[in-house]
Amino acid sequence: MASLGRHIIVEYYDCSPEILNDVVNIEKSMINAAEEAGATIINSTFHHFSPYGVSGVVVIQESHLAIHTWPEYGYASVDLFTCGDTVNPWVSYQLLKEAFKAGHGSAVELSRGEMALLKRKNFDVKALRDEKSTDEGDPIRTRDVWFTERDDKIALSLKHDGKLYDVQSDYQRVSIFNTQAYGNMLTLDGMVMTTEKDEYVYHEMITHIPMLTHPNPKRALVIGGGDGGTARELLRHDSLEEVVMVEIDDKVIEASKMHLPTIASALEHPKLNLIVDDGIKYVNDAADESFDLVIVDSTDPVGPAEGLFTVDFYKEVYRILSKDGIMVTQSESPRFNSKVFKEIFQTYRGIYGQEQVHCYLAYIPTYPTGMWSFSYSSKGGAHPIANFDEARSKAFAKEHRLKYYNEDLHKAAFALPSFVRDMIS
Ligand code: SPD
């Protein structure tokens, strides 16, 4: 490199005024432009001015992208500054031009910090860094890079040491981050799916509640769940003769096998029939009354999982459940995804009947708001508490040294805060 950095000063004219006044979308576009150019995001901050105009900056490991917009003139000024040769700022330039629907764009590239004019100064790097350990002996890390899951009002951030896997599959962006607090973490299209340190809450609760309520479950179907956690928990139950799991995205399975070995530990189990295909198609083609339990371990209702949140799909699930059959689904956060949460329970009650559908909760620190819900719907009327054998549940939790589920929690999980109860009654 003949210089320390490349600075591209950009003008976009004749842009869409609406787009240039939409702070949430501008931030998304800037982050996307940085990622697609090969940059590692450290953090971002954006501000909407009243009545119009947006300013913001995305700090990347290789420097920064900054913007200010004048929607009233359809004009945006952008700085793309990159160091090193791993990021191509012209990729960002082109993507932003498209994102802002610019009629015309112009740019000049400046070299910053000409090497011919620089003289390296030696100093003691160690003296500038804190090399000590914490009281627990953990090294103090100076790296300050964050993963953030956000909607337009709430964000959840986790500090990480980098990405271990990052692939655009046919369906979604599949990534594994090495987080400092929760171990390796799977995200799909920027949404947290599971982490090594708190996965047990979700996976124990989505499986053992129905398994310890159903009188004699022999065949279980999991839709989604490619990380393997749900299958791992189901296969603790010897009564099951077969678990069929249908995951649409083989990259989720690949990433989990490579980087979430404790979660994916049962993916080679002899009783597991793992099918890489569309779960909706599988359910449509399955025979009537062929499963005792169906678990929908889906992502959130955007992208490939959207079809899993429709009436038609759930009618088909009902059809393939045996007479005593139970369906359990992850049903989003009452606080974060209120609209979807309400719709889910309305839909299921329309199919199974008002009294056959129950909601239960669990506390998952890495999901938005921490409060997560599951739905329990029974075809034959099995009640999740009346039909539950407390002694069996206690023995099971003890034998398998479960970390979240136990006989008390089985009952307590169905006790809903009043605001949640009101949302679905
Ligand atoms: N917003 C998080 C929803 C995640 C649901 N599925 C998680 C998959 C874990 N097996």
179-184 average pLDDT score: 97
Please indicate whether residue 225, judged by its CB atom, sits closer than 6 Å to ligand 1.
Answer: yes
- Residue 144: predicted pLDDT: 79
pLDDT above 60 for 131: no
- Taking the C-alpha atoms of residue 199 and residue 193, their distance in angstroms, rounded to an integer, is 9
Kindly state the helix (H) or strand (E) to which residue 166 belongs, with its residue range: strand 155-168
- Residue 402: predicted pLDDT: 98
Residues β-bridged to residue 297: 224
- Taking the C-alpha atoms of residue 296 and residue 245, their distance in angstroms, rounded to an integer, is 10
Q: What is the mean pLDDT of the chain?
A: 93
Please indicate whether residue 191, judged by its CB atom, sits closer than 6 Å to ligand 1.
Answer: yes
pLDDT above 60 for 130: no
Residue in this structure with the two tokens 């950009």, named with its chain if needed: 10
Task: Give the residue, by CA position, lying nearest to ligand 1 atom 2.
Answer: 193
259-271 average pLDDT score: 98
Q: How far is the CA of 313 from the centre of ligand 1 (A)?
A: 19
Angle at CA of residue 30, ends 191 and 34, nearest 5°: 80
160-177 average pLDDT score: 94
- Taking the C-alpha atoms of residue 413 and residue 316, their distance in angstroms, rounded to an integer, is 27
- Residue 155: predicted pLDDT: 87
- Residue 192: predicted pLDDT: 97
- Here the tokens at position 58 are 């995305």
Please indicate whether residue 230, judged by its CB atom, sits closer than 6 Å to ligand 1.
Answer: yes
- Residue 421: predicted pLDDT: 97
Which of these ranges, 153-162, 182-191, 246-255, 365-374, has the smallest mean pLDDT?
153-162
Give the confidence band of 133 by pLDDT, cuts at 50, 70, 90: low
Between 82 and 306, where is the model more confident? 82
Task: Calculate the alpha carbon distances from 122 to 112, 125, 274 in Å.
Answer: 21, 9, 57
Give the confidence band of 285 by pLDDT, cuts at 50, 70, 90: very high
Nearest atom in ligand 1 to the alpha carbon of residue 199 is 9
pLDDT above 60 for 287: yes
On the CB side of 324, how many CA atoms lie within 13 Å of its CA?
Answer: 15
Nearest atom in ligand 1 to the alpha carbon of residue 228 is 10
pLDDT above 90 for 291: yes
The closest alpha carbon to 166, from 287, 39, 43, 51, belongs to: 39
- Residue 276: predicted pLDDT: 98
pLDDT above 80 for 173: yes
Task: Calculate the alpha carbon distances from 19 to 134, 161, 335 in Å.
Answer: 46, 33, 28
- Residue 154: predicted pLDDT: 86
Give the confidence band of 142 by pLDDT, cuts at 50, 70, 90: low
Between 270 and 137, where is the model more confident? 270
Q: How far is the CA of 373 from the centre of ligand 1 (A)?
A: 11
Give the confidence band of 303 by pLDDT, cuts at 50, 70, 90: low
Give the confidence band of 127 by pLDDT, cuts at 50, 70, 90: low
pLDDT digits (tens, 9 = 90+) for 345-369: 999 999 999 999 999 999 999 999 9
- Taking the C-alpha atoms of residue 202 and residue 222, their distance in angstroms, rounded to an integer, is 14
Please indicate whether residue 407, judged by its CB atom, sits closer than 6 Å to ligand 1.
Answer: no
Q: Which of 150, 176, 193, 247 maximizes ligand 1 atoms within 8 Å of its Cβ, making it the mutation to test the pocket?
A: 193
pLDDT digits (tens, 9 = 90+) for 194-238: 999 999 999 999 999 999 999 999 999 999 999 999 999 999 999
69-93 average pLDDT score: 96
- Residue 153: predicted pLDDT: 82
Of all residues in the chain, the percent with pLDDT exceeding 90 is 85
Q: How far is the CA of 191 from the centre of ligand 1 (A)?
A: 9
Q: How far is the CA of 296 from the centre of ligand 1 (A)?
A: 10
- Taking the C-alpha atoms of residue 263 and residue 25, their distance in angstroms, rounded to an integer, is 34
Q: How far is the CA of 377 from the centre of ligand 1 (A)?
A: 19
pTM: 0.83
The closest alpha carbon to 297, from 346, 238, 229, belongs to: 229
pLDDT digits (tens, 9 = 90+) for 385-403: 998 999 999 999 999 999 9
Residue in this structure with the two tokens 């869409």, named with its chain if needed: 16
DSSP SS3 for 139: strand
Nearest atom in ligand 1 to the alpha carbon of residue 263 is 10
Hey, which residues are catalytic here? 297
- Taking the C-alpha atoms of residue 7 and residue 10, their distance in angstroms, rounded to an integer, is 9
